[in-house]
Amino acid sequence: MPLKSFIEVHPESDFPIQNLPYGIFSTQANPHARVGVRIGEWVVDLAMLDEEKMFEKQYGFFADSTLNQFMSAGREVWREVRQSLIGLLSSDNSPLKNEALHSRVMVPVEEVQMHLPVAIGDYTDFYASREHATNVGIMFRGKENALMPNWLHLPVGYHGRASSIVPSGADVIRPRGQVAANGVPEFIASRSLDFELELGFFIGTGNNLGEPISIENAYEHIFGMVLLNDWSARDIQAWEYQPLGPFLAKNFATSISPWVVTMDALEPFRVDAPKQEPAPLSYLTVDSANGLDINLEVTLQSATMSAPQIISRSNMKHLYWSMEQMLAHHTVTGCNMRTGDMCGTGTISGPTEDSYGSMLELTWRGEKPIALPDGETRKFLQDGDTVIMKGYCQGDGYRVGFGEVTGKVLPALK
Band (pLDDT 50/70/90 cuts) for residue 414 is: confident
Q: Could you list the active site residues?
A: 132
Average pLDDT, the chain: 96
360 vs 320: CA distance, rounded Å: 20
Show which of 82, 115, 148 is a domain's final residue.
Answer: 115
Q: Is the peptide bond before 278 cis (omega within 30 degrees of 0)?
A: yes
Q: Is residue 13 part of a domain?
A: no
Q: Give me the phi and psi of 262, to 5 degrees please.
A: -75, 160
**125: pLDDT strictly greater than 70:** yes
The pLDDT value recorded for residue 375 is 92
338 within a domain of the structure (yes/no): yes
Model pLDDT for residues 32-65, shown as the tens digit of each residue: 999 999 999 999 999 999 999 999 999 999 999 9
Average pLDDT over residues 79-103: 93
Domain termination site, one of 99, 115, 131: 115
- Kindly state the DSSP code that residue 334 receives in the 8-state scheme: -
Q: Are 212 and 339 in a shared domain?
A: yes
pLDDT tier at 76 (50, 70, 90 boundaries)?
very high
Closest CA to 136 of 248, 232, 247, 253: 232
385-400 pLDDT, tens digit each: 999 999 999 999 999 9
Assess whether 64 and 144 both reside in one domain.
no
Q: How many residues does the chain have?
A: 414
Query: Does residue 173 share a domain with residue 102?
Result: no
How many domains in the chain? 2
Q: Are 22 and 56 in contact (CB under 8 A)?
A: no
Please check whether residues 308 and 177 belong to one and the same domain.
yes
Domain contains 399: yes
- Residue 294 pLDDT: 98
The torsion angles phi and psi of 70, rounded to 5 degrees, stand at: -60, -45
| pLDDT tier, 1 (very low <50, low <70, confident <90, very high otherwise) | low
Q: What is the pLDDT of residues 302-355, one digit of tens each?
A: 999 999 999 999 999 999 999 999 999 999 999 999 999 999 999 999 999 999
Section 191-217 average pLDDT: 98
Side-chain-side CA neighbours of 124 within 13 Å: the count stands at 22
Query: Which pLDDT does position 93 carry in this prediction?
Result: 84
pLDDT for res 287: 79
Q: Is the pLDDT of residue 288 over 90?
A: no
CATH number at residue 49: 2.30.30.230
- Based on the domain organization, do 173 and 44 belong to the same domain? no
272-287 mean pLDDT? 94
Q: pTM (2 decimals)?
A: 0.97
> Could you tell me the CATH number of the domain that includes residue 171?
3.90.850.10
Classify residue 10: in a domain, yes or no. Answer: no
Among residues 52, 82, 115, the one where a domain terminates is 115
Asked if the model's pLDDT at residue 269 lies above 80, the reply is yes
- Single-letter amino acid, residue 409: V
Helix H or strand E segment including 35: strand 34-39
Residue 9, in any domain of the structure: no
Q: Which domain holds residue 130?
A: 123-410
Contacts 24+ apart (CB under 8 A), 57-65: 61/35, 62/34, 62/35, 63/32, 63/34, 63/35, 64/34, 64/35, 65/24, 65/32, 65/33, 65/34, 65/115
pLDDT band at 374 (very low <50, low <70, confident <90, very high): confident
| Same domain for 246 and 102 | no
